[in-house]
Chain A
Amino acid sequence: MDAQKKILILDDEAQFLELCQELLSTLPVKPEVRTASSGAHAIALLEAEPYSLLLTDLRMPNMDGFQVLAIVRRRFPGLRTVVMTGVSDDEYRTRAYAMGIDLYLEKPKTAQEIKMFVDCVESLLLREETGGFRGVQSKTLTDIVQMESLSQSSVTLKFTNGPFIGKIWLLNGDLMDAEMGDLSGEEAFKKIMSWRSGTFESLPADPARERRIMNSVQGLLLDSAQMLDEIAAGEVPGSGGEKAKAASPLAELGRQPGVEFVLTTNIGKGREFEHFGCDAPDKTAVWAAATAERFNQLGEKIKAGTLQQVITTGSQRGAGLTTRGEKVLCAGFQRGRTAGQILEALKRITAQWAS
């Protein structure tokens, strides 16, 4: 007969501990749920008896979650660990996965999130029975999907790449569906497979998920591999890779002869901007946004017509600024160029930008 599973929850919020204890005690495997309100207390409990799972918060006084995880990884390498935190920072997530945790969950706020949280914990407890090796290693997305497919797993893979989240559903090794933002099915799968880095989590399978991908995993992986090759060759703009970065729309504009940088922002709102090659993009964006606004207003007051371009020349560099609706495009030019030369180059850049 199996020994009763034991879960240890570590958090400095007493109310959250109580709620978690209540939730997890109702799991079908009937685990014994203990709580600790400090890192030192948690370590002491772990040393006293074996546990199946540790759930820990990150932000805690005295000993934070990362310190606890470092000790746990060294002293209890077989213990499954889950970070459960209110911090949604990607840096923390990556750091926690690098320390070998099994899951990084944000503290549940809605009924759906609570259900997901409970399902994830149950799935981890059940997985413990199958044994296996655990470790920290970087794998490509293709490796991960291929491994899950070959082992005929039923799992939901959740991938995080910066602000983007993608999910891939597998049932008995078959690809069922994928989702990324507004995309779904094969389109979403291919988009996710174009990501170069990030983190992934194995969530419980969803057998009720409607099948929207009919092609085989291998076929789609081949397509994706071909696309990755194209990305490496810099042929797919906006895919995030180094060469692809160079192929982003602003980088394309920045390739015009004599152009030092290209920056886009919104009239009067210089805090939001995108740029390519600009040394001080925040200051330049503020100047570009304010200058476009000033001269727009001046044009209205003196009835001079629509603002078309603002050109500056100076001892360090020249600059050209133009607007399209609320958008402002500012380009920096190598010094020595005349206002006329900058105007002609800016017109070419503007035409490319507009297209």
Chain B
Amino acid sequence: MGLLDFFSSKKAAPAIERLPSGSFTVDREGKVLTSTLPQGFAEASVREIGRTVVESMVSARGANLPVTELVVHYSGLKITAKEQRGGAMIFLAPVR
């Protein structure tokens, strides 16, 4: 009985965050200007991606590696950023 209860009990399943697909633009300060990303994807995460990308592009110039395109490969997500007047247009694509 107890064992059956264990299998049949309905616990609140943890929500699985989907990795987003879409694009957004950021200015040279990393501020998000436009976005086509699904609303379910946390705004804080979008800002974090934008800020990290812009910081990396700026610091690359200091290392004699001026960047026009930056591609970051994660096991679950590919981030492609194209430089735009100091800011960037950033594309997110989950790896399938």
Please report A residues at the B interface, Cβ cutoff 8 Å. Answer: 279-280, 283-284, 286-288, 290-291, 294-295, 297-299, 301-317, 319, 332, 339, 343
Contacts and interface: CB of A to CB of B under 8 A. Distances in A.
B43 to A, nearest CB: 12
Given A283-B63, A303-B17, A316-B64, A298 B71 contact: no
B73 A309 contact: yes
Given A295-B56, A308-B75, A310-B71, A301 B45 contact: yes
Contacts of A305: 74-77, 95
A203 to B, nearest CB: 47
24 contacts: A283-B62, A287-B59, A287-B63, A290-B59, A291-B56, A299-B74, A302-B45, A302-B49, A303-B76, A304-B74, A304-B76, A304-B79, A305-B76, A307-B74, A308-B75, A311-B69, A311-B70, A312-B65, A312-B70, A314-B60, A314-B67, A316-B64, A339-B69, A339-B71
Top 8 A-B residue pairs of the complex, sorted by shortest distance between their CB atoms: A305-B75, A305-B76, A287-B63, A304-B77, A304-B74, A283-B63, A308-B73, A311-B71
B65 A316 contact: yes
A122 B79 CA distance: 71
A316 B68 CA distance: 10
B29 interface: no
Contacts of B52: 294-295, 297-298
A125 B67 CA distance: 67
Given A304-B74, A304-B79, A312-B70, 17 more contacts: A287-B60, A290-B59, A291-B56, A294-B56, A302-B48, A302-B77, A303-B17, A305-B74, A305-B95, A307-B73, A309-B71, A311-B71, A311-B73, A312-B65, A314-B65, A317-B65, A339-B80
Contacts of B69: 311-314, 339
B56 A284 contact: no
Interface residues of B, number: 29
Interface in B71-96: 71-77, 79-80, 95
Contacts of A313: 67-69
A280 B63 contact: yes
A297 B49 CA distance: 10
Contact of A291 (B17, B59, B64, B68): B59
Nearest to B68: A314
B66 interface: yes
Contacts of B79: 304
Contacts of A343: 71, 73
A298 B79 CA distance: 11
A312 B76 contact: no
Q: Which of B19, B59, B60, B65 has the most CB of A within 10 A?
A: B65
Q: Which of A284, A287, A288 has the most CB of B within 10 A?
A: A287
A313 B65 CA distance: 8
Contacts of A304: 19, 74-77, 79
Interface in B23-64: 45, 48-49, 52, 55-56, 59-60, 62-64
A317 B64 CA distance: 9
Nearest to B80: A339
A277 to B, nearest CB: 13
Nearest to A290: B59
A307 B72 contact: yes
B66 A315 contact: yes
B83 to A, nearest CB: 9
Q: Which of B45, B55, B60, B74 has the most CB of A within 10 A?
A: B74
